[in-house]
Structure 1
Amino acid sequence: MKNVRCAPRPTGLRVSALTLAVAFAAVACGGNGGAGSDGKPTIGVVALNLSNPFFGTLEKATEDAAKAKGWKVMKAEAKTPGDSATQVTAIENMIANKVKAIVVTPASATALNGVLQRAKDQGILVLAVNAPLSPESVADATFATDNVAAGRLIGQWAKASSPAKPRVAMLDFDLSDAPAADRHEGFLAGYGISKSALAGSALTKGTEDTGQQEMENLLSAHPDINVVYTINEPAARGAHTAIRNKGLSGKTVLVSVDGACSGVQDVKKGVIGATAMQFPDRMGEKAVEAVAAFLEDGTKPKGGVIDSGTALITDRPVEGLPSETSEWGLEHCWGPK
């Protein structure tokens, strides 16, 4: 059967959220295209590294929301960061099976552009979650955390909580990664410090081991560090171990981003001073809402990145900066408790 280019459809859905590695593919040419013999539409979900509780939460929320609407779901998983080949193959398979929409957490900002454009050319709705494509317009919309805002929140809190003579260090992830770069820049802006004024910085792999190792290296070179930004909560946990081993517990301000239940527990225990919570379940649910509107009458969401929300979690609130307690965080966090 030949592929048919669908006529343009009206746009204008209002949506509000985003984040994770999933892919929905769907033919939107009307009739029963992309539906089984029972008339139910099929969507595809391509997830990234489901062993990561963030991505697992996003994938489950997306699938549950789709099945609650009576839809069928095709799934595939890229098991390692950067595994675009698996995602490309999965999306090609979904196009061949005439799914109705593609919701994808891209393993690469650019490697999926060609296959996603082919999907759009056939009338399939393309949604990205967790991280934007490059250019963003490759997707009809992106649902993700505003990572600049997340970084700014913990930067503002760290500034207000800093000792009299702050010495600031940053434990980052590969800054070619858009969320990592956005968190980095947001923190600098929120704290009101330039990169050149930092005591030190280092790249981690976002793991506890590399967080500890790089924090040890930084403290060896700059033993007066007393404020530390971390890319995520595992890196923060490792950094805290290094800080504790140096006898600096209680003397160092440590902040992070994510909002996993384990990270919120670390806030409660005083390991992390504050973290910015993301909401991966909202990303998936909002993506499904956008698909539902598209299936109903062809309405597409507004383009660009749609924020899924962020909340500052701390048990040491500062005046003028809205925040939630760790108890609230444990009621809204994701991943194992």
Structure 2
Amino acid sequence: MKKLLTLIPAIYLTAWLGCGGGGTESFEQPSNGGNGDTNSSEQTNPEQGNTSKPAKDKGVIAYTPLTLSNPFFKVIGDHIKAEAEKNGYTVQMVDPDMDVKKQSDQIEDFIAKNVTAIVLVPCDRLSVGPAVQAANRAGIPVFTVDAKCAAENAKIEGHVGTDNFQGGELAGKAMIEALGDAGGKVLILDFKKANSCVLRVGGFKKVIDAHNKTATGKIEIVSELDGNGDRTKGYQSTADALQAHEDLNAIFAINDPSALGAYTAVKEANREDKIKIIGFDGQLDGKQAIKEGKIFADPIQHPDKMGRQIVQMIVKYQAGEKFEAETLIPATLYTKSEADNDPALK
């Protein structure tokens, strides 16, 4: 099949929206075995207790996330696989490793194999557009999970994700609580290539702006830097901000890995007692950091629900049934109070 000549050159990211990953593809073969351990806000085994015989094979659902190095996307994939097999489908799961060119090639391969449906977490919300358009022309429905595709003329049949704007609002409320009446200066570690992260920052700013209209102690966003959604860049950007702003009081990071990278920089600067950190996601290491006082709070996501619901959407699509084109799952705030009572933590 012809290569996608119109593809915008890939944006090579140095890490993933959770942590750095390897460069090899990972293929999930259909099976009824367990899925192994993963770090996520929901660590249920998606196949536990599923003793019913799968229905006759109805086709293949192909899944290409941002990266499988991030446990969050692996949890989504595991639940896609379990729900798909329950409904008579097999799953092909591949890892683009944050590379939009690789992801586009994977979609091209899915088209060549004439899969039943494609589930996508875009490595780049715009640059993946030509690959999605190619699937559209081939008559293969494309669905997105977690992050949307924002490319013009790229048709997405349905989306399941977190209500990231609402989650950002929770982060803003947590920041107000963390800083108290005094207010303070805040750094935002963003990731503008992902629409979900743009929404998180938007919700955060909305709450902070509303707070500042009446508060005596204002909260000032003094810097907004790229955290790339990973520990390394989160660390580097925070270290730079600490040098530029010696009176920094707090940090909002768009996910746990960048929040944990920020904490490392703050600790090296011996300012961990002065700077509060708000993360996002609810991965196991993020929750553990909240319990240990390294992170103040996290709006948490529910990747297990995302995986199940995107398959349920595909099943309805294939049956010609009506369904809501977009399902947003509300985030919930996770604080030290929840962490202290969380049996999954040490």
The interval holding the TM-score normalised by the smaller chain is: 0.7 to 0.9
Structure 1 position 65, deviation (Å)? 1.5
Q: Which residue of 2 aligns with 1:298?
A: 320
Question: Structure 2 CA distance, aligned partners of 1:185 and 1:157?
Answer: 15
Match of 2:52 in 1: none
Q: Compared with structure 1, are the counterparts of its residues 162 and 183 closer, same or farther at alpha carbon in structure 2 (3 Å cutoff)?
A: same
**Does the Cα contact within 8 Å between 1:208 and 1:236 map onto a contact in 2?**
yes
Partner of 1:133: 149
SS at match of 1:257: coil
| Residues 102 and 300 of structure 1: CA distance in aligned 2, closer, same or farther (over 3 Å) | farther
Partner of residue 65 from structure 1, selected from 62, 79, 83: 83
Instruction: Indicate the SS of the match to 1:213.
Output: helix
Q: Match for 1:181: what amino acid?
A: V
Q: Which residue of 2 is the match for residue 90 of structure 1?
A: 106
Q: SS of the residue aligned with 1:267?
A: helix
After TM superposition, list the pairs within 5 Å mapping 1:228-239 onto structure 2: 228-239=251-262
Query: Is 2:167 the counterpart of 1:159?
Result: no
Over aligned residues, Cα RMSD in angstroms? 3.0
Q: Give 1:172-211 correspondences, 5 Å limit.
A: 172-192=189-209, 197-211=220-234
1:312 aligns with 2:333: yes
Whether contact under 8 Å (1:45, 1:63) holds in the other structure is: no
| Larger RCO: 1 or 2 (CA < 8 Å, sep 6+) | 1
Question: Match for 1:119: what amino acid?
Answer: A
The share of aligned pairs that are identical, in percent, is: 27
Which amino acid in 2 is paired with 1:51?
S
Question: Is the 1:167–1:199 Cα contact (8 Å) retained in structure 2?
Answer: no
Alignment correspondent of 2:294: 271
- Decide whether the 8 Å contact of 1:166 with 1:225 is kept in 2: no
TM-score normalized with structure 2 length: 0.73
Structure 1 SS opposite 2:252: strand
**Structure 2 runs not aligned, ≥5 long:** 1-16, 19-25, 27-55, 213-217
TM-score with structure 1 setting the length: 0.75
User: Between Structure 1 and Structure 2, how many residues are aligned?
Assistant: 287
Structure 1: gaps (5+ residues): 1-18, 23-37, 317-324
In structure 2, relative to structure 1, the CA distance for the partners of 1:39 and 1:63 (3 Å cut) is: closer
- 1:138 aligns to what SS in structure 2? coil
**1:288 equivalent among 293, 311, 324:** 311
Tell me the amino acid that sits aligned with residue 197 of structure 2. Answer: A
Q: CA deviation at 1:290?
A: 0.9
Matched residue of 2:272: which SS? coil
* Paired residue secondary structure (1:258): coil
Residue 276 of structure 1 and its aligned partner are, at CA, apart by: 1.0
Deviations along 1:252-307, one digit per CA (max 9) or x if unpaired, are 22111111000000111111110111112211111111112223x2125322x421
Worse-superposed segment, 254-263 or 68-77: 68-77
1:152 Cα deviation (Å)? 1.0
Aligned to 2:162: 145
